[in-house]
C-alpha cells in the first residue's frame, strides 16, 4: 500500500511537470482528448483479454487427466495448440487493412472486440478436448489481431503528426498495463480457486471459467469505450497530388515560408538549384520546407 501511494504521488508530480514544460515528453492535453483517452482505455481492456488465454489454455492442456478436467498433453502439444493464437493474429493484418480502409479503424476495433467476446464465451463450454482449445485460439487470435491492429491507426488519426511517436508509445504502455493487470488478477483467481492435492496447488476448472468470465467482462468494458469513440470523419474533397516528394513539400510550405527569403550557395559561392530548404521552429520541429530556384533563391 505504501508503494502504491508513493507511485500515485510520483504520477501526480510527473503530470504537473509535463503540463508546465514547453516540450513535454507526453502531451497530456492531447492525451485527454476524447478519441485518444477512450482508445487508451480500450487498449487496456484488449491487453487484459489477450493475456488471459495465454495463462489458462497451457495449464488446462498440461494438467493430468486424473483431475477429471485436465487434457493430459505434453508441453510440446500444448504449445502447438496455443500457437494458432499468434499465427491468426499475424494473418488478420491484410483483413484489417481492407476493413479499416472501407469502414474505418473504429469499426475494426469494435468488430475485433466482438470476436474476442465470442471466443471467450464459446470457451466456457469448449474445454474438454485439445481440438477445442485450437478453435478457441483461432477465434481469439482473429479478434485480438483486428483489435490490436486498429489501435495505432486510431491514435495516429487523433493527434498531430509531431506527436504520433509519443502518443503511440503511451498506447503501447496502456496495452502493457492491461497484460500486467491481467497476469496479476488471473494468477490470484487461479491460486484462490486451486485444490491442494498432495501438497500441490492444482488449478480447477472453476478457476479457468472464472478467468474467462473476467476476460469477457474486460472486453465488454472495452467495447463500451470503443463505442464512445468519435465516428469516422467525412472524406475531404479530393486534391491533386504532386508527382514527387519535393514538389509536395513545396506546395505544403508556400504559406509557412512566406516572408522568408535567401539563397543557397555551395562551398565555392556558386548557386545551388533545387536544394531542399527546411524551416525548424524553436522546439526543433519542422515548420515548413521548400526547394531553391534555378538561381539558388528561395
Q: What is the pLDDT of residues 112-148, one digit of tens each?
A: 999 999 999 999 888 889 999 999 999 999 999 999 9
The three-class DSSP label of residue 259 is coil
Q: What are phi and psi of 93, to 5 degrees?
A: -55, -50
Contacts of residue 296, defined as CB under 8 A and 6 or more positions apart, other chains included, come to 263, 264, 265, 271, 272, 273, 275
DSSP for residue 269: S
Enumerate domains of the chain plus CATH numbers.
26-227 (1.20.1250.20), 245-291 (no CATH)
| DSSP-derived secondary structure for 8-26 | HHHHHHHHHHHHHSSS-SS
Sign of the C-alpha dihedral computed for residues 44, 45, 47 and 51 taken in this order: positive
DSSP for residue 279: E
Q: Among 234, 233, 298, 286, which residue's Cα sits nearest to residue 260? A: 298
Total-model pTM:
0.73
Q: Among 214, 211, 215, which residue's Cα sits nearest to residue 56? A: 211
In what helix (H) or strand (E) does residue 289 lie, and over which residues does it extend? strand 286-291
Q: What are phi and psi of 290, to 5 degrees?
A: -155, 180
d(CA 249, CA 232): 27
Neighbours of 271 (CB within 10 A): 15
Phi-psi region of 229 (alpha: psi -120 to 50; beta: other; left: phi over 0): beta
Long-range pairs, 131-138, Cβ under 8 A, ≥24: 133/57, 133/60, 133/61, 133/71, 133/81, 133/82, 134/81, 134/84, 136/53, 136/57, 137/53, 137/57, 137/81, 137/82, 137/83, 137/84, 137/85, 137/88, 138/84, 138/85, 138/88
pLDDT value for 240: 45
User: Cell digits for 105?
Assistant: 479503424
What pLDDT tens digit does each residue of the chain (298 aa) get? 688 788 888 888 888 887 788 777 777 777 778 888 899 999 999 999 988 999 999 999 999 988 888 899 999 999 999 999 989 998 888 888 888 888 889 999 999 999 999 999 999 888 889 999 999 999 999 999 999 989 988 988 888 877 788 888 888 888 999 999 999 999 999 999 988 877 788 889 999 999 999 999 999 999 999 999 887 665 545 444 444 554 555 555 555 556 677 888 887 888 888 887 887 766 666 667 778 888 888 7
pLDDT in tens, 230-255: 876 655 454 444 445 545 555 555 55
d(CA 11, CA 46): 23
Amino acid at each position: 500500500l505504501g508503494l502504491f501511494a508513493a507511485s500515485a504521488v510520483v504520477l501526480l508530480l510527473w503530470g504537473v511537470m509535463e503540463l508546465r514544460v514547453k516540450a513535454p515528453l507526453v502531451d497530456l492535453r492531447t492525451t485527454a482528448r476524447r478519441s485518444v483517452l477512450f482508445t487508451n482505455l480500450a487498449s487496456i481492456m484488449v491487453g487484459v483479454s489477450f493475456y488471459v488465454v495465454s495463462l489458462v489454455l497451457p495449464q488446462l492442456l498440461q494438467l493430468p487427466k486424473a483431475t477429471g478436467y485436465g487434457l493430459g498433453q505434453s508441453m510440446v502439444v500444448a504449445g502447438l495448440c496455443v500457437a494458432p493464437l499468434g499465427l491468426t493474429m499475424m494473418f488478420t493484418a491484410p483483413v484489417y487493412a481492407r476493413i479499416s480502409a472501407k469502414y474505418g479503424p473504429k469499426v475494426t476495433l469494435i468488430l475485433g472486440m466482438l470476436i474476442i467476446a465470442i471466443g471467450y464465451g464459446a470457451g466456457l463450454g469448449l474445454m474438454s478436448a485439445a481440438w477445442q482449445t485450437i478453435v478457441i485460439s483461432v477465434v481469439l487470435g482473429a479478434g485480438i489481431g483486428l483489435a490490436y491492429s486498429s489501435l495505432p491507426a486510431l491514435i495516429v488519426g487523433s493527434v498531430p503528426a509531431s506527436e504520433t511517436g509519443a502518443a503511440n508509445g503511451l498506447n503501447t504502455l496502456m496495452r502493457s498495463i492491461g497484460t500486467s493487470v491481467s497476469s496479476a488478477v488471473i494468477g490470484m483467481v487461479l491460486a484462490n480457486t486451486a485444490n491442494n492435492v498432495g501438497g500441490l496447488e492444482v488449478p480447477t476448472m472453476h478457476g479457468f471459467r472464472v478467468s474467462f468470465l473476467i476476460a469477457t467482462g474486460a472486453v465488454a468494458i472495452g467495447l463500451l469505450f470503443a463505442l464512445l469513440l468519435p465516428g469516422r470523419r467525412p472524406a475531404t474533397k479530393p486534391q491533386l497530388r504532386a508527382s514527387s516528394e519535393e514538389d509536395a513539400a513545396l506546395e505544403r510550405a508556400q504559406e509557412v515560408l512566406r516572408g522568408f527569403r535567401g539563397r543557397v550557395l555551395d562551398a565555392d559561392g556558386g548557386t545551388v538549384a533545387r536544394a531542399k530548404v527546411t524551416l525548424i521552429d524553436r522546439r526543433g520541429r519542422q515548420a515548413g520546407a521548400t526547394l531553391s530556384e534555378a538561381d539558388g533563391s528561395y
